[in-house]
Structures are given as structure tokens and as C-alpha cells.
Structure 1
Amino acid sequence: MKLTPHSREWYARLARELGGYRHPWTRVLDGPDPELTFDALLAERLGPGVRVLEAGCGHGPDAARFGAQTARWVAYDRQPELLALARDNAPHAEFCLWDGRGAVPDALRGPFDLIVSRRGPTGVIGHLPAVAAPGGRFLYVGPTLEVPQVPERLVAVGWTIHGEWRVSVRAWTPRWEDWVTRCEWMGEEARQEDWETRATARGLPYQEERYVVLAGAE
């Protein structure tokens, strides 16, 4: 049965078959991974006194990689199958099942010095006043060069964008099957004529894009 991309059932299959929230297609980049910008901004804001809330943590790769560098790393996700993997991958972190709707659970109220979302839900922005410590920061990375709801929602809660980065790197999908999977993931149409007219011995070129935002309450 074909599952709707990004549905609960679809994420459950990713957890079961891929062991987490992972891109299920092969790609080759011509330059540095565009998410390295997010990594660098995150790493320089961590420290033994920093309390972090992560929205949409998936199987917990960031909690596993960065959590030990903080005073507290708390994360949530709406998908129980991914949270089960996250608890195994990052036993030092705290995890909560939540879909970002309604009142913030007590376990997620913090306050937190840094709220992060790596390609995760933007709905957390509406909860920033409830979870952020004075002087708190919000760091986000999205899968396209423009994610309009991010600046719109930040304005709505009175937060200011301190920096925006738009990073684009040429990438290649070596097989037609990879291109189909990538387009499905991104909500785009995979057209056979594009493959037939544009693909080379390396595969089909496209741009791997990221939109990174750093914001604060002042």
C-alpha cells in the first residue's frame, strides 16, 4: 500500500525500515552539506549552562550528538516509533510525545535558553513565549530557500530575526528511483521527460537547499 508522504503511517515506516528520520534516496553533493551552517550556529551556542528544547527530534541524532554539551536537552516528536529510537540513541536526553498543538506539556515548559528545529515543525514558534528563558534564542533550518511561515510566525509572537542564511549546493541523484523518492519526499512531481533530457552519467542534477534562521525576543 502506498502511504501518503509525511503522514504518521509514513513516518512509522521510516522508523521501521530506515531506523529513523533519514532521507531514503542516494545523493552526491558537489560541495559542503548545506546543513553545516545550522550545525555551526548550534555548536557555538552550546555550553554546560545551556538548556535546549528541540522540536521534531525524530530518532534523536542531534540529542545524541550535542546533548552531552548542555545542561539539559529536552526534545519532543509526534511519532512514538521515532521517540523510541531517540531514547535508545540519546539516553542522557529527555523526550516527550507531543504534536505541538494545544497547551505546552509541563515537561516542555523549561524555561529554555535555546529552542531548535532541524527541518521539524514550525508550530513551535507560537509557543516560544511560553518556553523561552529571558534572552532565549530560536534556531531553525528548513528544506527550501524560503519558508514563509517562519518569519511570519516570528513576527506574530514578537520575536526578531537576527540572521538568515540561504544555502544552495548542487547535488545529483544517480538513479531514476532516487529522483522519484526525492520528489515524493519534497512534494514535487518526478517527470520522466526531465530525467530523459537532463540526466547525465552522474544522474540528474538538482539544488540541495536550506533556509536557516536565528531569532530572539529582542
Structure 2
Amino acid sequence: MSDRPHSREWYARLARELGGYRHGWTRELDGPDPELTFDVLLAEQLGPGVRVLEAGCGHGPDAARFGGEVGRWVAYDSGPELLEQARANAPHADFHLWNGKGTVPDPLRGPFDLIVSRRGPTGVILRLPELAAPGAHFLYVGPRLDVPQVPERLHAVDWDILGEWRVSVQAWAPTWEAWVTRCEWMGEEARLEDWQERATPRGLSYREERYVVLAGAP
């Protein structure tokens, strides 16, 4: 992909070429997907009367999978192409175009019992006081073992961190092209000399990492 990673044009290209916000590289894991921790915690928070706000919903996979288990699933994203796909994937959910800045659009005002962000924007944390219902929870998963702005922003709005999980699994990029795409996603440099020196018949090894946080309203 030639567009700057995580730019507006880059997300539009993902929607066109991959059919959504999906990993664009082939990978092999030597253990369970580390993101399953988020899935388990999310499922535990759901129920018939729960009102959910999803920040950075992409093409709507979580709304499609979990939205039918709650009272209301509302989501937003900054990419109109991804939102178009989300509406088709999860017609029972309510999707809106927003970049998380400025005035909160009326349909996103809530209040919500659960606010979630799967590898999405962390700026929503600073808006929790105006979005959350009393006793609400916030659930986040990020693509590294540490995402410092998450605990920092939770502290800034006086939300309590109820739990943190750091999960790391051995992974393999089987081809040079897969390694280049993976590095692009992560904002890292793909060095051909590293590939030539370290690659095995399985490809190049790396750690697939996730940082998961569950927080509660004060």
C-alpha cells in the first residue's frame, strides 16, 4: 500500500482491497490469538439491557458478532467507506461518522453502560465523563504490550483500572511481503538485511502482542 499508514486514504484503501479493517498480511501463530482475552472480557460485559458505544468500529465485526446480545449497540468511525461496510455487516446496530474530536454528535451522547475500543482511538477515554452512565465500564485492546496513553488518560478522568492484561504469542510472517505489510501497520521499518539474516523456512519470527484494559467509572 502506498498511502501513509493509518491515514484517511489508507483506511479507504483497506476498505476497497481487503473489505474492511483487516490485517493485510498472512501470519502464523504458535499459540492462541492474544486478542481472545478482549473477546472473553467483552462477552462477560454484555446483556439484554446493556447500552454499548464502540469507538473506531471499522467494518463492524464486533457489532455484527455481539450487537444482538445487548439492548443497543452504537458505533462510530472516521472512515465513510468502512462505515458503509459496517452498516451492511450489522444492520441491527447504529453507525455514525465521527473522528472523536469536537462536539459529540447527538446520537453518540448516550449515556452508555459500556464503551469499547478494539485497537481503535484512545481519545474516547477523555470523553468518558460525558458519554458514560453511572457504573459504566471501558474496555480497550491495543497492539503492543504497553499503550501508555491509556492508563494516563484513564487517570486524567479519574476512572479506575479494574484489570490489565499483557499477552504475547510467538508469530511468524511467512514471506518478505507479509513482513513488509506487518511493519507498515506497526509503524516499523522493514529491513531486507534483517529478513535475509533471520528468516527461516517458516519465515521471520516476531511477537504478536496485545494490551487489554478494563476500567470502571468513579
Per the TM superposition, whether the score is higher than 0.5 is yes
State the distance in 2 between where 1:106 and 1:68 align.
23
User: Which consecutive residues of structure 2, in runs of 5 or more, have no partner in the other structure?
Assistant: none
Q: Are 1:137 and 2:137 counterparts? A: yes
Q: C-alpha distance in 2, partners of 1:156/1:182?
A: 32
Aligned to 1:171, what secondary structure does the other structure show? strand
Q: Would you say 1:41 and 2:26 are equivalent positions?
A: no
1:12-61: per-residue Cα shift (whole Å, max 9, x none)? 00001110000000000000000000000000110101110000000000
Is the counterpart of residue 184 in structure 1 residue 184 in structure 2?
yes
Deviations 1:57-107 (A, max 9, x none): 000000000000000000000000000000000000000100000111110
| Mapping of residues 1-218 of structure 1, within 5 Å | 2-218=2-218
Root mean square deviation of aligned Cα: 0.8
1:161-192 deviation per Cα after TM superposition (whole angstroms, max 9, x unaligned): 11000000000000000000100110001111
- Output the CA distance in 2 between the equivalents of 1:209 and 1:168: 4
Equivalent residue letter for 2:197: T
What SS does structure 1 have at the residue aligned with 2:48? coil
* Off by >6 Å, runs of 4+ in structure 1: none
Instruction: Structure 1 unaligned segments of length 5 or more: list them.
Output: none
Q: Which amino acid aligns with 2:5?
A: P
Distance in structure 2 (CA, Å) of the matches to 1:3 and 1:74: 29
Task: Output the CA distance in 2 between the equivalents of 1:26 and 1:131.
Answer: 37
For 1:192 and 1:81, locate their aligned partners in 2 and report how far apart those are by CA, in whole Å.
Answer: 33
Query: Residue type matched to 1:172 in 2?
Result: W
TM-score normalised to structure 1 length: 0.99
Question: Counterpart of 1:178 in 2: which secondary structure?
Answer: helix
Number of corresponding residues = 218
State the identity %: 79
SS at match of 2:136: strand
SS across alignment from 1:125 = helix
